[in-house]
Amino acid sequence: MNNHALLTRLREHLGDAAVLTDTDVTDAYSRDMMPLADSGKPLAVVLPSDVEGVQAVVKACAEFEVPIVPRGAGSGLSGAANAIDGCVVLVLTKLDQIVEIDEGNRLAVVQPGVVNLDFRNAVEKHGLFYPPDPSSYDWCTIGGNLSTNAGGLCCVKYGVTTDSVLGLEVVLADGSVLKTGRRTVKGVAGYDLARLFVGSEGTLGVITQATVALKPLPQLPATLVAAFNSTEAAGEAVARVVREGLVPSLMEIMDATSIKAAEAYLKTDLGTSSDCKALLLAQSDAGGEVARRELAALEQICVDCGADLAYATEDLEEGKMLLQARRVVLTALEMYGVWLTDDVCVPRTRIAELIAGCERISEEVGLRIAVVGHAGDGNMHPTIVYAPDSEEEFARARTAFDAILDVSLSLGGTVTGEHGIGRIKREWLEKEIGEVGIRVHRQIKRALDPGNLFNPGSMFSL
């Protein structure tokens, strides 16, 4: 391997300023936000500004047999963008153009480096709406959302990232450009390759452009909050919402630990009693009388299931204030230490059992565990808090992290609902999908990336 020759080639194609080798700089690009995931020392960090630059990087690295780790903003929580020793980290943030917004067909063409919130704001000016809304939407990029098939608070009504994808442009391992999908509402020509690449975590190719479907801009949301003195009652309310066919634009749950942390951080109470064990927050963006009927039906379900408090409001600022309690939970938990957040999804009828399981694990490991999540789709985020300077507590946090995954699988769930497998859940992927599933994954990987060029060791090993 001739690293000097590779770096020279990269600089010839991209320019000196786009090829970074100073370790003080490259270290900042070596990992994402997941503390459990290992990371290595990259040979270089490269920042191409167009698809031709991406092709040049891929061809050069393939020739010199140097692995590539594609990366966006680094907001991920699975280690899927973490460097390995000697790799080239391919940063896509300079491919940041909104190529097209087609109002008539309600679609847009966007590059991977565009920040999610910037894109949402841009299409909103045209009376349109891009639904995927990860919690880091104010700084995460579309490319990272595509690579991990990111979700968010609005998934219960609008789905995850892949549900908005019509087509992709992808640079393959030989440097060629694959164009997948369509611009039409319907289309079944050939394999659905776009969905194959969405969620592949950079292991099959480099996404350089996406065609995405847009929705009409929804009405301003009306909000409901309901407090319960047991998680079982809150879980039953969620199950009844599903059974009765109600589809709020948002439905979140907070356990007692999360509620107390948010109240302490915000220096207020949420109107709950001291024995409140769970809080449901829901919104309707249908507008007008339709929203009022939807919230009234949700409120009645909560009351029927034993809610101590059920309150609905059409006031936008009041709704934002109520939802703020959900949004600040992770920040609030930092009052007690550093946090390690898990990402599991269970059948919606078993949310209460997952919360109970997390309470049991918390007692067993002697650490605070708070559970918040997207009740509408069963995607929960148990978050473990530990002392930042204690290796012993960190080890217990890791034990709790794995125990939560085990509980999720035992409840018929999955080990990741939206963060991905990355480098922290590789063994859990095989436990979930089985030997045949892993074999098929490896066959697809070898077919598209025979030299194991892209993100080797992420998701699974060859």
pLDDT tens digits for the chain (462 residues)? 589 999 999 999 999 999 999 999 999 999 998 888 889 999 999 999 999 999 999 999 999 999 999 999 999 989 999 999 999 999 999 999 999 999 999 999 999 999 999 999 999 999 999 999 888 888 999 999 999 999 888 888 998 999 999 999 999 999 999 999 999 988 899 999 999 999 999 999 999 999 999 999 999 999 999 999 999 999 999 999 999 999 999 999 999 999 999 999 998 877 666 789 999 999 999 999 999 999 999 999 999 999 999 999 999 999 998 889 988 998 999 999 999 999 999 999 999 999 999 999 999 999 999 999 999 999 999 999 999 999 999 999 999 999 999 999 999 999 999 999 999 999 999 999 999 999 999 999 999 999 999 999 999 998
pLDDT at 273: 66
pLDDT at 271: 66
User: How many CA atoms are closer than 13 Å to the CA of 300, on its beta-carbon side?
Assistant: 8
pLDDT at 1: 59
What tokens were used for 399?
């034990």
pLDDT at 37: 85
> How many contiguous H segments (helices) and E segments (strands) does the chain have?
15, 19
- Tell me the three state secondary structure of residue 452: coil
Could you give the C-alpha distances from 107 to 24, 99, 102, 122, 185, in angstroms and in order? 41, 11, 5, 12, 10
pLDDT at 279: 95
CA 388 to chain centre: 24
User: Residue 104 and residue 375: Cα distance in Å, rounded?
Assistant: 34
Could you give the C-alpha distances from 230 to 49, 269, 275, 318, 372, in angstroms and in order? 53, 18, 9, 25, 15
Q: Please answer whether residues 343 and 417 qualify as being in contact, where contact means their C-beta atoms are separated by less than 8 angstroms.
A: yes
